[in-house]
Amino acid sequence: MAAVSTPEREAFYKKIDGENLTALWTVMSDLITPEPKSACRPHLWQFAAIRNYMMEAGQLITAKEAERRVLILENPGLRGQSKITTSLYAGIQMVIPGDIAPAHRHSQSALRFVLGGKGAFTTVDGERTVMQPGDFVITPSMAWHDHGNETSEPMFWLDGLDIPLVQFLDASFAEGARDDQQKVARPAGDSFARYGHNLLPVGTKRGARTSPIFNYPYAHTREALEQARRRDEWDPCHGLKLKFSNPETGDYAMPTIGTFIQLLPNGFSTARYRSTDATVFAAIEGRGRTRIGEQVFEWGPRDLFVVPSWHWVTHEADEDAVLFSFSDRPVQEKLDLFREDRGNA
């Protein structure tokens, strides 16, 4: 409840304002809300439109000059802040044949979810991984990374970073490398070979919170969904939804960003669901629609949409559909702030 205004009160507020003081009772209801209240809005970006703009950007600037040739997905309620949700950043990155996105490192953690192209690479701390559509790739905090493309077609991926979160905490460090490209120090597939088979090296404890697997190939992800589908155990709110996990800890694959893959079979329609983690979705297969509050968004392969905190959401698939998604859920869970509401399901 807001306190009523009187001339005496207003004069008082003005007087203390000069002393860098504010009366709590004038702002309390904006600070402590009965439910999440966010400027973040529901929105969908069609990949086809972004792809055209990216090709145009390819004529304007090289990856080397840009450092990263990325178009930021800005939430319409948070324009000018480089945010897709209050805590997370998303962008679409294009790496065309011959590009070199030079090596750098930063405190922000990054994920890539590959949308199109075939066989461009990223090198993370000396290991190169060749990427395919649907692959989920991690760049841990402070890991050196550069990207390149020795194929004949452009590659596009979704970047998800914890930039706003790190900004909020004033904890950003970054540096460029002397050489644009890192020396490849380990064979391709090394991290998956070591950690991707339910076996862990004995006697070496990494103690890192980010998964040692940095490419979760779509072929494996898709197979996991397909196997699970045979069990026919559908969650009314999510269809079939799996989280990418760190094999060393069983926790999320990244410390600040939770990443998920979900299958909605042809004709499936979910029960309403809401949660405190605003979530970014990328469709990789299939078509359907998502209702967020009162708005309906139609999506197909490679389209991207965002669901703000505590908005009711339902999905409907017209074909077998696969959705990748990410949010700040790991952070909220660790701070005992995460809440979800499954309606009556």
Site for ligand GTQ (CB under 6 A): which residue of 51, 83, 91, 283? 91
What are phi and psi for residue 44, nearest 5 degrees? -130, 140
> Of 142 and 228, which CB lies nearer to ligand GTQ in the complex structure?
142
Residues 105-124 interacting with ligand GTQ (rule: CB under 6 A): 110
Site for ligand GTQ (CB under 6 A): which residue of 159, 162, 248, 285? 159
> Of 159 and 285, which CB lies nearer to ligand GTQ in the complex structure?
159
Least distance (Å) between residue 340 CB and ligand GTQ:
28
DSSP calls for 241-309: EEE-B-TTTSSBSSSS-EEEEEEE-TT-BPPPBEESS-EEEEEEE--EEEEETTEEEEE-TT-EEEE-T
Site for ligand GTQ (CB under 6 A): which residue of 75, 93, 109, 215? 93
CA dist 255 → 82, 126, 175, 331 (Å) = 21, 21, 21, 7
Q: What is the CA radius of gyration of the chain?
A: 22
Q: Which two tokens stand for residue 58?
A: 């390819």
* C-beta of residue 280 within 8 angstroms of C-beta of residue 86: no
Counting every residue, how long is the chain? 345
Report the amino acid identity of residue 293.
G
* C-beta of residue 282 within 8 angstroms of C-beta of residue 321: no
> Of 172 and 295, which CB lies nearer to ligand GTQ in the complex structure?
172
> By beta-carbon distance, which residue lies closest to ligand GTQ?
159
Site for ligand GTQ (CB under 6 A): which residue of 51, 69, 145, 209? 145
> Of 68 and 289, which CB lies nearer to ligand GTQ in the complex structure?
68
Site for ligand GTQ (CB under 6 A): which residue of 95, 96, 111, 161? 161
Report the amino acid identity of residue 313.
V
| 83 touching ligand GTQ, by CB under 6 A | no
Residues 62-81 interacting with ligand GTQ (rule: CB under 6 A): 68, 70
Mask for 201-240, x = binds ligand GTQ (CB under 6 A): ----------------------------------------
Q: Which two tokens stand for residue 187?
A: 């064979």
Exposed, middle or buried: residue 201 (CB in 10 Å: 0-12, 13-18, 19+)?
Answer: exposed
> Which residues of the chain form contacts with ligand GTQ (CB under 6 A)?
68, 70, 91, 93, 110, 145, 159, 161
